[in-house]
A and B are shown apart, each in its own frame.
Chain A
Amino acid sequence: MARKPRIPGAAGQGRARPFEIAIQILAVGVAVAIVAGLGASIYHGLERHNIPFSFAFLLQTSGLHLTEGLTLDWSHGLALRPFASTDSNLQALVLGLYNTIKVALTGIVLSTVLGLLVGAGRVSLNWMLSRICLGFVELIRNTPLLIQLFFWYFAVVLQLPPLRAAAHWYGTIISRQGIYTPAFAVSSSWPLFWPAVLASILLFGGALWAFAGKRRFGRAAPLAAVVAIAAAWLAVSAWKGAPLSLDVPVASRFRASGGIPFSPEFSAILLALVVYTSAFIAEIVRGSIEAVSGGQWMAAYALGLKRRQSMTSVILPQAFRVMVPPLVNQYLNLAKNTSLAIAIGFPDLFNIYGTIANQTGRSMEGILIVMLAYLLINWLISLLMNLYNRRLLARGWR
């Protein structure tokens, strides 16, 4: 193995001189001093206002009325349940985290779909299509997210018809009190439905893992596993009846029940984030497709491939590799942007933190909790995407 070239200015090269060590100690010392000084003055500032630093407020009853989302209940085993006003502040924060994650995950999936569609339109040879997609991207990227959020909430969602005159569309009820879509409900004759789903996924993953890279079964194993699992499901269904039934929402005069409910606030923040992020994702898609060198197109054409074939089997596999890192950035941005929900009153983590801080005066303690939560969300998304990226690279798409 060749010796690494010595790079001046690169990390970990050369011997440290006393002067450099002194500078480092000074820099770290100053940084520590700033943090410590900040902490001390905050502590004294709080003392001056007679608010000693403590986390006891977390276990006090919150008295908040939160209808959106679920919280954790650890009194009788661990369970997710709706929030009650007698629950503690900590449970309210958990509900906020739940809502933030709910918006972030749904948003990531939907904005990826929309972004891929718009991105595909951007690279289309059809002039009309590519121009209108460009117009969409420019309009969205060049205006603040906050005004878009206000627009979606006040000018779109709250202008929908009231529930008694709601629009019905294939079982979906669209009204200003909320949007209700049909959902699948697990039938009562299947008590072990979720364990069965989990087992199937594990089985499939196990089959993939066991036969990965094996030349003889590597291709056939996933297919065989799918067929076997599907056959098992069909057999049990024939015996127990269909596992899922369609749960169609029913509207009465003032409220609707059943299906998956989206509150107006949730719909607005989701719409705003999905539309906003999809514009950025579309640009990433276009950029990474254009980043693949033109010679690849020519080579594909020279082999006699059509445009669509060259795109799917030559260009896209290479573009995917370029696409993943900036995509992760957009996902992280989306997760952070959920905090704008405070502007329209959706109870996300930051909004609930603000409310609790106002009620208890415990804003400083809350900072640490909120900071930790956002760091965790960030690390989680980065970790998942890094794993995916590694898999992408390991597949030989390089």
Chain B
Amino acid sequence: MMGFGAWCRKRLFPDALNGVVSLAVLAVLAFLLYALCRWALFSAQWQVITQNIRFLMAGSLPSPDIWRAWTAGAIFMFMTGLSLGKLLPIRRIPLLLGGLLLLALAIAAMTVIGQPQWALVLALAAAANTGWLCAAHPRSTSTLLGTAWVVTTIVMWNILIPGESKAVGGLLLGLLITMVAVIFSFPVGVALALGRTSRLPGIRLTCVCYIELIRSLPLISILYWAWMVVPLILPGDVRISDLVRGAVGFTLFYAAYVAEYVRGGLQGVPRDQVNAAKSLGLNTFSSMYHIVLPQALRSVLPALVGNVLDIFNNVPLLFIIGLTEFVRAGQVLLSNPQHSGQMYEVYVFMFAVYLAMATLLSWSSRVVEARLGYH
């Protein structure tokens, strides 16, 4: 380990040119940071966010139904806590219990002083904390976690979308569509990948056609067509909500991408594994299901987590079929002349929210990768 001075000399000032570059970058960075802080603390008017936070988070969900948003949020935070607890090796029960106690006290205090919305926000944190605590239980396995996410998705869908007229929007809609797309595109994608690596040319050709066609088209067109075609192929009196059509579009589109990731994993499994399975007397299905697929999926898990981030980042394209997702909600906010002066506040807020989400996801992807590396 070299000292700070030596490190500076080597990595910042090895020669005159590098020294100038370092100093210039430092100066620009310092100025930008200073300007941003000054703006954010003194001249930005954050009321535009605080006053419209409900619209940004839950869209135009009517007031009496707002409990749906809070319930779904709490369930989501619980699951996030559970997953983080599985990923992170920190499982100090007393610490977590202490945190939960502290949060409970804070919730009580907020309720007493008449700030129910802060009490609810703290309740979300408490839900995450409880989830983390549950992850410490020895019976919470990865299989259980996966099943729990599937159940959560179905439950959240039913809570958030009671009827077409009072469906949710905003960030919660984005999360919901992401979860649906991730969960449903996975089995379809695995099936397509198996089909594409099959030795039966008929099946292979069908899967290749589907995957290559979908992958060469933009997502926005698939969404638009899924939205347009679905009512045409149904009998006249059956109506399907825009949300379902959007979710179908996302699932069909990302299934092709999942298929390509999984195919990469399948090709990475050594042939000897198949031979060994065959010599043990396993048939094609069993050797695939018990030997090849687990290894393939394990090796592409980081890529699949990256795919989740990709889906989440593309959910704003739902604007094309008229759904008010987070980014669209921000645009609607800005189209109000009353808020047109607070453009930068809204954009900075949206960028910050997306960055926070993405950082969490890409960090967990890295943790998954590192853990797989040890085994």
Give chain A's interface residues, CB within 8 Å of chain B. 7-14, 16, 20, 23-25, 27-28, 31, 38, 41-42, 45-46, 48, 125-129, 132, 139, 141-147, 150-151, 154-155, 332, 336-340, 342-343, 350, 354, 363-364, 367, 370-371, 374-375, 378
Query: Does chain A have a CB within 8 A of B74?
Result: no
* Chain A residues with CB under 8 A of B274: 8-9
A153 to B317, CA, bound (A): 16
List 12 additional contacts besides A128-B26, A142-B354, A336-B217; criterion CB under 8 Å.
A9-B197, A12-B199, A46-B232, A125-B14, A129-B21, A132-B25, A144-B327, A146-B316, A154-B343, A155-B347, A337-B218, A354-B224
- Cβ of B158 under 8 Å from chain A: no
**Closest chain B residue to A45, Cβ basis:** B232
Closest Cβ of chain B: how far from A313's Cβ, in Å?
A: 21
Mostly, the A contact residues are helix
8 Å CB contact of A10 from B199, B233, B330, B334: B199
B114 at the interface (CB under 8 A from A): no
Q: A128-B12, A142-B359, A146-B317 are in contact. Are A20 and B200 (CB under 8 A)?
A: yes
CA distance A27 to B203 in the complex (A): 6
Q: Which residue of B229, B271, B320, B354 contacts A7 across the interface (Cβ within 8 Å)?
A: B271
- Please name the residue on chain A nearest to B335 by beta carbon: A154
Q: Who on chain A is nearest to B219 by CB?
A: A336
CB contact between A374 and one of B22, B216, B271 (< 8 Å): that residue: B216
> Does A363 contact B228, Cβ atoms closer than 8 Å?
yes
A337–B347 alpha-carbon span in the complex (Å): 21
- Given A128-B26, A132-B29 in contact, is the A144-B203 Cβ separation under 8 Å? no
A48 and B199 form a contact (CB under 8 A): no
Q: In the complex the two chains form, is A147's CB within 8 Å of B217's CB?
A: no
Interface string of B341-373 (1 = CB under 8 A from A): 001100100110011001100100000000000
Residues of A within 8 A of B204 (CB): 11
**Secondary structure type dominating chain B contacts:** helix
Contact of B21 among A126, A338, A378 (CB under 8 A): A126
Complex interface: chain A residues within 8 A of B203 (CB): 23-24, 27-28
| Cross-interface CB contact of A42 among B197, B229, B327, cutoff 8 Å | B229
Tally of contact residues, B, Cβ under 8 A: 62
- Complex Cα distance, B313 from A279, in Å, reads 15
Closest Cβ neighbor of B350 among chain A residues: A147
Indicate if B149 sits at the interface (CB-CB under 8 A).
no
Q: Does B304 contact A (CB under 8 A)?
A: no
For window 8-59 of B, CB contacts with A under 8 Å fall at 11-12, 14, 18, 21-22, 25-26, 29
Closest-by-CB residue of B relative to A144 is: B313
Max chain B CB contacts within 10 Å: which of A13, A45, A375?
A45
Does B309 count as interface, using CB distance less than 8 angstroms? yes
User: In the complex, which residues of chain A have a beta carbon less than 8 angstroms from the beta carbon of B166?
Assistant: none
Interface of chain B residues 291 through 325 with chain A (CB within 8 A)? 309, 313-317, 319-320
Report Cα–Cα, A155/B221, bound state, in Å.
26
B22→A8 contact, CB < 8 A: no
Verify A28–B202 contact, CB threshold 8 A: yes
Q: Give the contacting residue for A375; candidates B206, B216, B234; CB below 8 A.
A: B216
B residues within 8 A CB of A354?
224
Least distance between A352 CB and chain B CB atoms (Å): 13
Do A48 and B347 touch across chains, with their CB atoms under 8 A apart? no
A255 to B21 CA separation, bound complex (whole angstroms)? 40
When distances are taken between beta carbons in the complex, the residues of chain A under 8 Å from B351 are 139, 143, 147, 151
Contact with A along B329-340 (1 / 0, CB 8 A): 011001000000
Q: Which of B11, B221, B309 contacts A339 (CB 8 A)?
A: B221
**Structural contact, A332 and B309, CB atoms closer than 8 A:** no
Q: B313 near A145 (CB under 8 angstroms)?
A: yes
Contact of B201 with A by CB under 8 A:
yes
Can you list 22 pairs linking A and B with CB atoms under 8 Å apart? A9-B197, A9-B199, A11-B199, A24-B202, A28-B205, A31-B206, A38-B229, A41-B232, A125-B11, A129-B25, A142-B354, A146-B327, A151-B347, A336-B218, A339-B218, A339-B220, A340-B220, A350-B220, A354-B224, A371-B217, A374-B221, A375-B217
| B94 on the A face (CB < 8 A) | no
| CA gap between A48 and B234 in the complex, in Å | 11
Per the bound structure, the CA–CA distance linking A9 and B203 in Å amounts to: 13
Whole-angstrom distance between the alpha carbons of A332 and B225 in the complex?
Answer: 21
CA–CA, A48 to B327, complex, Å? 37
A129/B271 in contact, CB under 8 A: no
Q: B278 interface residue, CB < 8 Å from A? A: yes
B236 interface hit (Cβ, 8 Å):
yes
Interface centre among A10, A27, A367 (most CB of B within 10 A): A27
- Whether A139 contacts B11 by the Cβ 8 Å rule is no
Complex Cα spacing A314 to B173, Å:
50
Q: Which residue of B lies closest to A41 (CB)?
A: B233
With a cutoff of 8 Å between Cβ atoms, the chain A residues found around residue B202 in the complex are 24-25, 27-28
Docked-complex contact A147 and B218, CB < 8 angstroms: no
The residues in B between 151 and 194 inclusive whose CB is less than 8 angstroms from any CB of A are none
B217 and A144 contacting across the interface, CB-CB below 8 Å: no
A370 is contacted by which of B221, B233, B354 (Cβ under 8 Å)?
Answer: B221
| With known contacts A126-B18, A154-B343, A155-B343, A144–B314 Cβ distance under 8 A | yes
For residue B331, which residue of chain A has the nearest CB? A150
Q: Which residue from chain B places its CB closest to the CB of A378 in the assembled complex?
A: B216
Residue in A closest to B224 when the chains form the complex, CB atoms: A354
- List the B side residues contacting A143 at CB < 8 Å: 313, 351, 354-355, 358
Q: How far is the CA of A148 from the CA of B287 in the complex (A)?
A: 46
Checking B206, B218, B319 against A350 with a beta-carbon cut-off of 8 angstroms, the contacting residue is B218
Q: Which residues of A contact B286 (CB under 8 A)?
A: none
Interface residue ranges of B42-84 to A (CB < 8 Å): none
In the complex, chain B residues whose CB is within 8 Å of the CB of A12: 199, 201
